[in-house]
Structure 1
Amino acid sequence: MSVRAPDRHRTAALRITGGAACTSVSAGFAKLSGASPGTTAFLRCAIALTVLVPLSIREWRRLGPRPWRLMRFDLAAGVLLGIDYVFWVASIEDVGASISTVLLTIQVVVFPLLTWLFLGSVPSRRFLALIPVMLIGVTMAAGVIGQAEPGTDPVGGIVFGTIAGIAYAGYLFFMRQGGGQGHVVFPVCASTTAACAAAVVVGSLWTGIDLDLDLAAWLWLIALALVGQVLAWLLIAGALSQLAPQVSASLLLLHPVLAVVFGVIALHERPTITQLAGCLLVVVSVWAVSRTPRRERVSAAGA
C-alpha cells in the first residue's frame, strides 16, 4: 500500500526536525574539543566514516549500486560540506558556538536562490521581500551592528560564517538533487568521504591538522561525528527531496535556535541584547517565509 503524500511530507518534516536537533549541539561539541578548524572538520568526517562505510556497504548489497549520475551530486555536495565545516569551526572561534550557528542560517537565503537559478523553482514574493530583513538579523546576531559579546571578533565571525553558510547551502542543493532515489546511507557516506578529503586540503593549507589530542578532545569529536554527522544526516538527507526548498530550509532553522539555548546553558556564552534581537529577527523572518499562504491551505483542504 502506497503512503499518502501528506503522510510522506509529515514524515520528511519530522526527520529534518530531528536532524536539526542533532546538529544543534555540533558547534558546542566542536568548541568543547578545543581542536583547530582543520582538525575538527577532518576528524568529524573520518570518525563518522567508521560507521557509515559498513552501513553503506550493506545498503549497496541490498539495493544495488548507486548510478554515477547521482554519485556526482553526492561528491559535489561533500566537497562543499568539507569547506563548510572548516570555515564554520573558524567562526565558532571568533563569535562562539551559539552565534556561529545563527550565522549559518545564511543558507536559508542561498538555498532557495540556488534552486531558482538552476532549477527554475521560483521562491515566493514573501521570501524575496524578507531577504533584507534576514540579512540584517544575521548581521546583528554576529555583532557587526550594535554590541558584540566581549572577547569575540564579529567581522571575522561573519566572514567565516558567511562562507560556511554559502557552502552549506550548496551542500543541501546537491544532496536534494541526488535524494529520493532509494539509497539513503550511501549518499551520506559518499558526501562525508568527499568532505573528509576537502577538509584535509583546506585544513592543511590553513590551520593544519593535529592528531595529538587529549582524551577529552577525542571524546567530544567522537560525539560530534556520531550525533552531528552520522545520525543527523541520515535523518536529513533522505527527506530533503520530499519537501519544497523553502520548507526544508525553514525546518532546519531549529538548528540555530537550539544551538543558542545550548550555548547559553552549557557553554556559558552570553550574547548581547543586540545579538539576541538579531537571532529573533532571523527566526521570525524564516517563520514568515515558511508559512503557507491561506489560499493554498484552503485549496489543499478541499482537494
Structure 2
Amino acid sequence: MQLTPQKWAASGLTVGCVVFGLGSLIVKFVSIGSYAVALWRVFIGGIVFLLLSRHFGQKLPTSGTAKRFCILSGVFLGFDLAFWHESIHAVGPGISTLLNSMQIFFLAAIAWFFFGERQSKLQLFSMLLSVIGIILIAHPELHHNSHGGYGIFIGLISGGAMAASMACIRQAHQAEPVSLFPLMLLVSVGAVAALIVPSILIDTHRFWPSSMKDVLLIMIYGVVMQCFAWGLIAYAVPLLSLTLTGLLLLSEPVAAILIDFFILNKPINALQWTGTALTLLAIYLGSLKPKHNLKKTA
C-alpha cells in the first residue's frame, strides 16, 4: 500500500515527539538554568539550520507575513521550552511532559475559532479518552508531590505556548509555502530573541555550562532535539489537521512515562499503565479519517 504525504507526516510527527520528549532527560541532568538551556538549544539549532539552508540552497520566504509568523512561532516555542524546563525541575520529566501535552485543548480551540476546523464525533471522543488517560497517569504524581503547584501551572502554560507556536507555523505556510530549513532558521531567531533577556536575568548564575559533560549534552539537545525532532514536527504540521496534530503529540507523554519507568527506574502503578493504554487508543482513534476543512485565509 502506497504511503500518502499525510501518512508520512503522521509517522514523522510521532517520531519527532518521542525524540523531543527524550530531551527531558538532558534538562534534568545538566546544571544550567531552565531559560538558559532553552536559549542554548535554539541557538545551536539555529546555526545548524543556517548551514543546512545554505548547503541545500533553500531561500527565506519573500512574504513578510510568512516571515513574521515564523518568527512569532519561535517566540512561542522559546517560552514553551523554558516553561517546560521549569516544570521538569519542579515535578519531573514524566509529569511535566504530560502537562505540556495538554496543548491538545489549546490546539482544538485554535482549530475551531481561527481555522474553522470542526472535529468529528470520533475525534471528540478520542480527545475525551485522551483526557481521561492523562488524568489517570498524572493523578498519582500530583497526589504525592508537595511542590507540584508551580510545576503544574507552568507546565500547562507551556502547552498553550506550544499550541500557539504550531498554529503560527500553519499560518506562515498559508501565507507562503516555506522550505523546512529556512522555516526552522526563522523559528530559531524568534526563540533566541525571546529568551536572551530572561536567560540573562533569571539564570545569571546558571547560564554557562560548568563541565564538558554539560557542553556535550547541550550540543546533543540543540542538534538532535531542536533540529531533528522539531524539524520533523514542523514538517508534519502543515500536512495534518490541527486536531490530529494535537492527538499525535500525545505520543510524547506516553514516551515520557516509559522513560521514567525504564531509564529512571520510577515505579508506575496499574492506574498509570491504564492511562497510558487509553492515551494510545485515543491517538489511534483520532488518526482515523481526520477532517481537513480549513477555511481559506487571504
TM superposition score category, shorter chain reference:
0.7 to 0.9
What is the Cα deviation at residue 46 of structure 1? Answer: 1.3
Take 1:221 and 1:158, find their aligned partners in 2: how far apart are those partners? 25
Greater Cα offset, 76-85 or 261-270: 261-270
2:222 paired residue among 201, 221, 225: 225
Matching of residues 1-303 of structure 1 within 5 Å = 7-59=4-56, 61-63=57-59, 65-129=61-125, 131=127, 134-143=130-139, 146=140, 148=142, 153-179=147-173, 181-208=177-204, 210-292=207-289
Cα pair distance change 1:140/1:154, threshold 3 Å: farther
Whether the 8 Å CA contact 1:84–1:165 is kept in 2: the answer is yes
- Quick check: 2:67–2:186 contact (8 Å CA) kept in 1? yes
Give the aligned residue type for 1:191. Answer: V
Partner of residue 299, structure 1:
none
Q: Which runs of 5+ in 2 are unaligned?
A: 292-298
Kept in 1: contact 2:251–2:283 (CA 8 A):
no
Does the 8 Å contact 2:87/2:151 carry over to 1?
A: yes
Name the amino acid aligned to 2:100.
Answer: L
Matches of 2:271 and 2:197 in 1, distance apart? 37
Determine what percentage of the aligned residue pairs are the same residue: 26
Is the 1:79–1:197 contact (alpha carbons within 8 Å) kept by the matching residues of 2?
A: yes
Distance 1:64 1:164 in 2: 28
Unaligned residue ranges in structure 1 (runs of 5+): 297-303
Larger displacement relative to structure 2 (75-84 or 262-271): 262-271
Change (3 A) 1:26 1:115: same
Q: What RMSD over aligned residues (CA atoms) do the two structures have, in Å?
A: 2.7
Structure 2 distance, partners of 1:103, 1:187, is 27
TM-score, normalised via structure 1 length: 0.83
* Alpha-carbon spacing, 1:64–1:129, altered in 2? closer, same or farther (3 Å): closer
CA 258–152 in structure 1, closer or farther in 2 if over 3 Å, else same: farther
- Most deviating of 261-270 and 150-159: 150-159
3-state SS of paired residue (2:267) = coil
Determine the C-alpha separation between the residues in 1 that align with 2:245 and 2:219: 27
- Secondary structure of 1:54's counterpart equals helix
What is the aligned length?
A: 287
Check 1:135–1:202 CA distance in 2 against 1; reply closer, same or farther (3 A cut): farther
Q: TM-score, normalised by structure 2?
A: 0.84
Q: Deviations 1:74-116 (Å, cap 9, x if unpaired)? A: 0111110011011100110122112211222112221122021
Instruction: Quote the offset at 1:129 in angstroms.
Output: 5.0
Q: 1:57 to 1:274 in 2, by over 3 A?
A: same
| Code of the aligned partner of 1:103 | L
CA distance in 2 between counterparts of 1:253 and 1:168 reads 13
Deviations 1:177-228 (CA, angstroms, capped at 9, x unpaired): 2238141111111111211222223334444451142221221111111111
**Cα offsets for 1:238-264 (capped at 9, x unmatched):** 221112222222222222222221232
Does the CA-based 8 Å contact 2:74-2:190 persist in structure 1? Answer: yes
Paired residues of 1:92 and 1:157 also in contact (CA < 8 A): yes
Q: CA deviation at 1:281?
A: 4.1
